[in-house]
């Protein structure tokens, strides 16, 4: 009759009902209750339809109508696809001996949507990248949602925009990766991740970018936030020195760009620049997400986030990496602002 594993109750109920060469309304109600309590595969639905056709004369009018109606309207659930295990991008050289690729427990692409505060940098020098992820997540989360396609088999196809040069349209590039994440010997996720341990979008996005660019060694030793902003938005990005214009003019530009929905990051000076970062709570050679601007009592502030997800100037008791800084301090400690 039907040998579908996990679905014996439906077939058994029909077999029992047919023992007396009739299927009553009561038996049909029991059958439908059992059938609706579990997924109905396409194969089993076909088998049940054949059984109904073969024994049509044994079903009462109402019983036959009920079964036929349910078979027409039932939401047929196909068996889950076999998970795919794809080749992973190369690790940072220093991590090759103590890092393995493992699935994330309870992993799901999004938990409570996409937020700039999801993003946490891992043990890799790619603040320029995750800072840009956070900026886009804040201003245009749909850009990230539209970039990542869940293939339903444990893999994700991520679409990036590749800059083809001045005056030429961006080229869309698709990269497919699985949901395994680089995991240290202690069981922690090595590279980019979300604050919520089961959320995957940050790690998937970073893994796909690494696959696209040639591995984690390629993306893990510094880079350009503008390239990442372009890759996610398909819009031309630019960088401007904090000293290229007046402090007020720079503030106005950041304010306008933020209000218009443009993702923004800001990078600090290098360690050999002569800028003293001791005691500032800000770090050299580091890219921060710009969250916006504000004004209080005549003072102008830039609102920022450290992609580490912690460590900021001041002492607000939160240690979430989010802070605001007066413009006069901002132009001293930061060298460039990147507009997406």
pLDDT for 170-201, tens place per residue? 999 999 999 999 999 999 999 999 999 999 99
Query: Residue 5: pLDDT band by 50, 70, 90 thresholds?
Result: very low
Kindly list the structural domains of the chain, giving each domain's residue range(s) and its CATH number in brackets, ordered by start: 8-73 (no CATH), 93-222 (no CATH), 238-339 (3.90.70.10)
- Does the pLDDT of residue 123 top 90, yes or no? yes
- Signed CA dihedral, 119, 120, 122, 124: sign only: positive
Say yes or no to pLDDT of 28 above 90: no
Residue 322 pLDDT greater than 70, yes or no: yes
Point out which residues pair with 150 in neighbouring strands: 156
Instruction: Tell me the pLDDT of the chain averaged across its residues.
Output: 90
- Flag whether pLDDT at 227 surpasses 60: yes
pLDDT tens by residue, 39-58 = 667 776 776 777 677 777 77
Q: What is the pLDDT of residue 2?
A: 36
Contacts of 168 (CB under 8 A, 6+ apart): none
* CA within 13 Å, CB half, 33: 7
pTM for the model:
0.79
Distances in Å between the alpha carbon of 108 and those of 9, 24, 131?
A: 32, 45, 22
* Average pLDDT rounded to a whole number, residues 2-26: 61
Rounded to an integer, what distance in angstroms lies between the CA atom of residue 185 and that of residue 171?
39
């Amino acid at each position: 009759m039907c040998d579908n594993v996990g679905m014996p109750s439906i077939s058994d109920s029909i077999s029992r009902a047919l023992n007396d060469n009739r299927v009553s309304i009561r038996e049909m109600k029991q059958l439908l209750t059992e059938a609706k309590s579990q997924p109905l595969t396409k194969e089993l639905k076909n088998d049940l339809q054949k059984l109904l056709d073969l024994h049509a004369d044994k079903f009462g009018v109402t019983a036959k109508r009920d079964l036929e109606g349910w078979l027409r309207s039932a939401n047929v659930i196909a068996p889950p696809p076999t998970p795919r295990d794809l080749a992973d991008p190369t690790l940072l050289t220093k991590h090759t001996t103590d890092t393995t690729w493992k699935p994330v427990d309870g992993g799901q692409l999004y938990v409570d949507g996409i937020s700039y505060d999801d993003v946490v940098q891992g043990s890799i020098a790619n603040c320029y990248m995750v800072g840009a992820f956070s900026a886009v997540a804040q201003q245009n989360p749909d850009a990230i949602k539209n970039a990542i396609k869940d293939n339903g088999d444990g893999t994700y196809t991520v679409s990036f925009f590749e800059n083809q040069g001045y005056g030429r349209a961006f080229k869309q590039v698709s990269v497919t990766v699985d949901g395994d994440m680089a995991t240290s010997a202690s069981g922690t996720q090595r590279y980019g991740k979300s604050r919520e341990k089961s959320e995957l979008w940050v790690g998937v996005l970073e893994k796909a970018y690494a696959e696209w660019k040639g591995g984690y060694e390629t993306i893990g030793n510094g880079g350009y936030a503008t390239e990442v902003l372009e890759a996610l938005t398909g819009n031309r990005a630019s960088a401007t020195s904090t000293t290229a214009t007046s402090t007020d003019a720079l503030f106005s530009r950041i304010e306008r760009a933020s209000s218009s929905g443009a993702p923004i990051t800001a990078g600090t000076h290098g360690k050999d620049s002569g800028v003293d970062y001791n005691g500032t709570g800000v770090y050299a050679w580091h890219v921060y997400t710009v969250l916006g601007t504000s004004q209080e009592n005549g003072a102008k502030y830039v609102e920022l986030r450290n992609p580490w997800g912690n460590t900021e100037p001041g002492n607000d008791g939160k240690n979430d990496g989010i802070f605001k800084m007066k413009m006069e301090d901002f132009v001293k400690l930061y060298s460039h602002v990147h507009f997406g």
